[in-house]
Amino acid sequence: MDFLTEMIQHLELGFSVALSLQNLWYCFVGVFLGTLIGVLPGIGPVATMAMLLPITFNLPPTPALIMLAGIYYGASYGGSTTAILVNLPGESSSVVTCIDGYQMGRQGRAGPALAIAAIGSFFAGTVGTMLIALFGPPLAELAFAFRAPEYFSMMILGLVAAVVLASGSLIKAIGMILIGLLGGLVGIDVSSGMARYSFGISALTDGISFVSVAMGMFGFGEIISNLGQTSVSREVEVSKVSSLMPTKTDLRMSIGPILRGTMLGTIFGILPGSHTVIASFSSYTLEKKLAKDQTRFGKGAIEGVAGPESANNAAAQTCFIPLLTLGIPTGAVMALMMGAMTIQGITPGPQVMTQTPDLFWGLIASMWIGNGMLVILNLPLIGMWVGLLKIPYRLMFPGICLFICVGAYSLNGSPFDVYVAALFGCFGYYSSKWGCEPAPLILGFVLGPLLEENLRRALLISRGDPMVFFTRPISAGMLVAAIALLFLIVLPQVRRRRQFLADADD
């Protein structure tokens, strides 16, 4: 009973913060921009958040994080609109929605498909946010028992899990993480005061700007990649939307997939890796196996829309749990959120809940409000979203490039940050050409300094004895789990799934 009373008090605090005019405005801006980016193929929420990070520097922490969170789950929602209407997934997680959603559109049932996608996304997002509110405090209390060895082992487990659960080559993913770890160590060594990896360049003594790396990898890199694809600017045939009202049969057939998709998305959201992609593909596979008539799938089965869209949005919400409670990002988007929190002077982890409860609970309350905004915003504006697809990409990318350059320059008022962004843009492009995911590099870049700090602290406490990581039960358990995950990669089914996800991203 005390727990319930305390939870109600926390939520009252959260809604009092989230319902202020300033935070409502930034929540609206976030979900609007997120939906806009989700509709446009080839950009994605990571690139958008990377480009918009400089804008949040002058904002207070709470509205800044509310806006960035809105961009993320808004983009996760917005990708379904073009997937259903024009067979173009705005996000990689919306690829599955194209299979049956577009077929429903061709049959004149685009309206019910969009409505079910909205209902499923809203329900899953609401449940995901509720789980953050329920499990956040207990996990944060558990995290207070962690010391330097536990944090080091947990970060190792997170990096290993991100590699194992990602797509593509294991060796390439490890290589990208190592590059990210090394990049995060550039600058002045706090212990010795000596410059590391600066190569005599004075601008590097302050380290490589995380924002410049992110803007380059996900901004310039995506632009260069998209300019080589003529399909981005092709004319599309838009399915007509006559009525948005689903039938009773549609609703009855969608209840089960929505519930199962929400459950799958919740599980995959907490795990490191491509949460939304894995969750949506897993949901579609599950619904197809449970269906009495599997031949309907691929021909307009509404379960093929309801399940994946619910899983997609549930994963987009619950991936905030490890970041806000343990301080561990589970993917590129959460790494950007962690970077934004660090720039705002906030240390991600259990301290967020105790030291800045207004930010923690205000962010959670804003997710409920943002999910409601998404439903109200998206269905009436379907025509406008689709109209954006007809803008040739050659007219869009100069403005995006200018925005990235201005954002990078505004970090320190130095052109060096623009050069860094351009360099990592070229690296990001060639990385994608070579089949290397950028997300592990970003994770390594963010976690590298924290990993080193906790390693040094643990060894200092133990007077240089590395067995401290194995004599403490929690630390030893996480290291054993990391080793077990590495052995998983040799299993044939895991290797097939990695290749499947790599082909889906392509």
Name the more confident of 74 and 166.
74
The DSSP element (H or E) to which 169 belongs, if any, is: none
96 neighbors 308 (Cβ within 8 angstroms): yes
276 neighbors 258 (Cβ within 8 angstroms): no
Average pLDDT for 141-154? 78
- What mean pLDDT value characterizes the chain? 78
The DSSP element (H or E) to which 196 belongs, if any, is: strand 195-196
Average pLDDT for 245-258? 86
Look at residue 5 and tell me if it is in a domain. Answer: no
| 42: pLDDT strictly greater than 70 | no
As a whole number of angstroms, the distance between CA 389 and CA 212 comes to 28
| 36: pLDDT strictly greater than 90 | no
Look at residue 4 and tell me if it is in a domain. Answer: no
| 255: pLDDT strictly greater than 60 | yes
Nearest C-alpha neighbor of 129 from the set 369, 326, 307: 369
What local confidence, expressed as pLDDT, does residue 234 receive? 44
Cα distances (angstroms) measured from residue 492 to each of 239, 487, 488, 495, 497? 40, 11, 9, 5, 9
Look at residue 393 and tell me if it is in a domain. Answer: yes
Question: Residue holding tokens 């329920």?
Answer: 134
pTM: 0.70
Taking only the tens place, the pLDDT of each residue in 441-497 is 877 887 788 788 888 888 888 888 888 888 888 888 888 988 887 777 666 555 565
Average pLDDT for 141-170? 74
As a whole number of angstroms, the distance between CA 85 and CA 113 comes to 9
Strand blocks (E) in 2-93: none
Taking only the tens place, the pLDDT of each residue in 67-82 is 988 888 787 777 777 7
Q: Is the Cα dihedral 303, 308, 313, 318 positive or negative?
A: positive
Look at residue 282 and tell me if it is in a domain. Answer: yes
Name the more confident of 312 and 386.
312
Taking only the tens place, the pLDDT of each residue in 203-227 is 888 888 777 887 788 778 777 877 7
Average pLDDT for 306-322? 84
Please enumerate in sequence order all residues whose Cβ is within 8 A of that of 479, keeping only pairs 6 or more positions apart, or say none.
153, 156, 157, 469, 470
Average pLDDT for 50-61? 80
Q: Is the Cα dihedral 384, 229, 164, 446 positive or negative?
A: negative
| 271: pLDDT strictly greater than 70 | no
| 134: pLDDT strictly greater than 90 | no
Look at residue 166 and tell me if it is in a domain. Answer: yes
- 10 Å Cβ neighbour count for 406? 12
Question: Residue holding tokens 């499990």?
Answer: 135
* First CA to last CA distance, the chain: 50
Instruction: State the total domains in the chain.
Output: 1
As a whole number of angstroms, the distance between CA 384 and CA 108 comes to 19
What local confidence, expressed as pLDDT, does residue 104 receive? 85
As a whole number of angstroms, the distance between CA 238 and CA 368 comes to 31
What local confidence, expressed as pLDDT, does residue 343 receive? 80
As a whole number of angstroms, the distance between CA 268 and CA 275 comes to 5
Residue 191 CB burial class (10 angstroms; 0-12, 13-18, ≥19): exposed
Look at residue 2 and tell me if it is in a domain. Answer: no
User: What residue numbers bound the domain in which 20 lies?
Assistant: 11-505
As a whole number of angstroms, the distance between CA 333 and CA 316 comes to 10
Query: Long-range contacts made by residues 352-359, C-beta under 8 angstroms, separation at least 24?
Result: 352/324, 353/136, 353/137, 353/140, 353/324, 353/325, 354/140, 356/61, 357/10, 357/13, 358/13, 358/17, 358/62, 359/17, 359/61, 359/62, 359/65
Question: By mean pLDDT, which of 13-27, 264-278, 405-419 is the weakest?
Answer: 264-278
Look at residue 6 and tell me if it is in a domain. Answer: no
As a whole number of angstroms, the distance between CA 129 and CA 11 comes to 11
Give the three-class secondary structure for 457: helix
Give the three-class secondary structure for 31: helix
| 174: pLDDT strictly greater than 50 | yes
What are phi and psi for residue 274, nearest 5 degrees? -85, 75
As a whole number of angstroms, the distance between CA 298 and CA 301 comes to 7
Q: What angle do CA 314, 440, 453 make, to 5 degrees?
A: 105
Estimate the crossing angle of helix 95-106 against helix 61-85, to 10 degrees.
50
Question: Residue holding tokens 């499947």?
Answer: 500
Residue 252 CB burial class (10 angstroms; 0-12, 13-18, ≥19): exposed
What local confidence, expressed as pLDDT, does residue 233 receive? 45
